[in-house]
Structure 1
Amino acid sequence: MGLGLTFSLLGDCDPRAVPPTAISINTASHMLEKVRAKEWLLIDVRSPAEYAEGHIPGAINMPHNEIDHYLARLEQHEGKPIIIYCRSGRRAKLAMETLKKRAYHDVSHLEGDMMGWHGAGLPVDRM
């Protein structure tokens, strides 16, 4: 299963106009395997407080409004697909735009975001 089947690129859509999509268990399992194997980088772009309350296992926190401060940290993951999520999609879109402007082209959005993850009853890690 490739990224094209698992994730959606936001493009020019307005994520506020799209209802949250539940994430399938197959999609979640595949993604978590890739993240655990360090083949993909999963980034939670919500605030540190939201991240601490619960995040997808293996995700690292890089708040969307501070993404430029994390570019050096991203260099160590060069060549890996990046999957971004937030609560509902808006901040993920902003972070994707920033990364694409900085020449990160293999960036995808986790369809459904954290709302879809919770809606599917999938596991979360807490700090």
Structure 2
Amino acid sequence: MRLIPLLLLLFCTLAGADEARFDKLTAQQVHASLPQLVLVDVRSPEEFAEGHVPGAVNLPHDAVTDYLHLLQGQQQRHLVLYCRSGRRAGLAAAQLQQQGFQQISMLEGDMPGWQEQGFQVQK
């Protein structure tokens, strides 16, 4: 019986491991550096349509390789990924790193954090 809580704890720890490997940038840092960054929203197309960071590219986390063409020629640029909670962004970041993208950061607080700072949202 004790094994189940331990396995659950291990799973929860590993589920957040991908996100922890990447630097985090605050919404203020991202906003101040927008022209130099490539913003990548890894939420579903429906979530993206409801509102996203202006200029972001939608690259659903569960279809990263299918959408890589949207990042063609961007391998040397700094990518900043976000979703709703960070979990999907961490998964997508790990996949992008395997595809040769090296400058990857996460938006601290993800989309809710961006909105809480009062920054513009594009629909």
- Same fold (TM > 0.5): yes
> Aligned to 1:10, which of 20, 24, 33?
20
User: TM-score of the superposition, structure 2-length normalised?
Assistant: 0.74
Specify whether residues 79 and 89 from structure 1 end up closer, same or farther in structure 2 by C-alpha distance, changes over 3 A only. same
Return the structure number with greater strand share.
2
Residue 75 of structure 1: how far off its partner (Å)? 2.6
- Give distance in 1, aligned partners of 2:21 and 2:55: 25
Alignment counterpart, residue 40 of structure 1, candidates 37, 42, 55: 37
| Structure 1 residues without counterparts, runs of 5 or longer | 1-8, 13-21
Q: Contact 2:41–2:59 at 8 Å: present in 1 too?
A: yes
- Which stretches of structure 1, 4 residues or longer, exceed 3 Å deviation after superposition? none
TM-score normalised over the length of structure 1: 0.72
Kindly indicate whether the alpha-carbon contact (under 8 Å) linking 2:75 and 2:102 is maintained by their aligned counterparts in 1: no
Instruction: Give, in whole Å, the separation in 1 of the partners of 2:121 and 2:110.
Output: 13
| Residues 6-39 of structure 1: CA deviation (Å, up to 9, x unaligned) | xxx7318xxxxxxxxx733xx243132x2xxxx3
Cα RMSD of the aligned pairs, angstroms, is 2.1
Larger radius of gyration: 2
2:104 to 104, 107, 112: 107
The total of aligned residue pairs comes to 103
Gaps of 5+ in 2: 1-18
Match of 2:12 in 1: none
